[in-house]
């Protein structure tokens, strides 16, 4: 499956830390109502059974809206539930590179890979990644182990590869304009949408701001 750059415009990564008594399905539905173009299920603490159950619910929601549904890291869950694809970080790549992920999932699934340098980006593309998640472009609390990346590096990665690039890390409506001209196709966010009281409005506002940034 070829990754449509339009699907990366507003890429939302789930995080149950921000639920505040709401269900994950409810907040994801609100974000889709606000115009999110791709959903990545990121779960670090659920057992496999619960994870699979939740993933299937979210996937059904995404299919209704024709929005790609990606599972973070867990290739076996992605395969078991026939998700649209999987996103793997550099830590996961050490155990399973994009070629091995492709062999497990088959030719028609999306594979996203995190990259922090031009070298990592080129290697991921060579091994069959369909898109790259690149960052952290701003300081972020969700990934304390990842250093902040310069605009120049982001731009160099976009220029070096022919697959679409989505920027991630600390992105908000206030700072997203600083990414104009870098070559990205969109942004991946967690708290900018899911920490908001009104998730739908936060997604709609951010989407409009990203579209404006991409036109700049």
Which of 114, 182, 200, 207 is an active site residue? 114
Choose, from 65, 79, 104, 143, the residue flagged as catalytic: 143
Let me know if 143 is a catalytic residue: yes
Residue tagged active-site, from 29, 42, 109, 200: 42
Structure tokens at 77: 């869950």
Pairing, β 110-115 against β 85-88: parallel
CB 38 within 8 Å of CB 12: yes
Please give the Cα distance from 181 to 167 (Å, whole number): 12
36: DSSP letter: -
With CA atoms as reference, report the closest residue to 188 among 138, 152, 153, 147.
138
CA-wise closest residue to 33 among 212, 199, 206, 213: 199
Asked about 114 being catalytic, the answer comes back as yes
Catalytic, 42? Answer yes
Query: Do the bridges between strand 38-41 and strand 10-13 make them parallel or antiparallel, or are there none, so unpaired?
Result: parallel
Active site positions, annotated: 42, 114, 143
């Amino acid at each position: 499956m070829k990754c449509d750059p339009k699907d990366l415009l507003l890429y939302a990564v789930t995080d149950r830390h921000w639920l505040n008594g709401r269900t994950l399905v409810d907040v994801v539905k609100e974000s889709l109502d606000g115009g999110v173009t791709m959903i990545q299920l990121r779960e670090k603490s659920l057992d496999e059974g619960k994870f699979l159950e939740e993933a299937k619910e979210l996937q059904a929601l995404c299919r209704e809206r024709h929005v790609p549904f990606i599972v973070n890291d867990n290739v076996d869950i992605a395969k078991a539930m026939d998700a649209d694809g999987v996103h793997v970080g550099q830590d996961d790549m050490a155990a399973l590179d994009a070629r091995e992920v492709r062999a497990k999932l088959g030719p028609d699934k999306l594979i996203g890979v995190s990259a922090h340098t031009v070298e990592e980006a080129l290697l991921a593309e060579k091994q069959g990644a369909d898109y790259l998640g690149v960052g952290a472009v701003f300081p972020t609390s969700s990934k304390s182990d990842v250093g902040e990346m310069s605009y120049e590096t982001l731009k160099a990665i976009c220029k070096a590869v022919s697959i679409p690039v989505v920027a991630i890390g600390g992105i908000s409506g206030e700072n997203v304009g600083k990414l104009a001209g870098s070559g990205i196709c969109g942004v991946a966010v967690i708290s900018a949408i899911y920490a908001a009281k009104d998730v739908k409005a936060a997604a709609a506002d951010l989407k409009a701001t990203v579209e404006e940034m991409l036109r700049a």
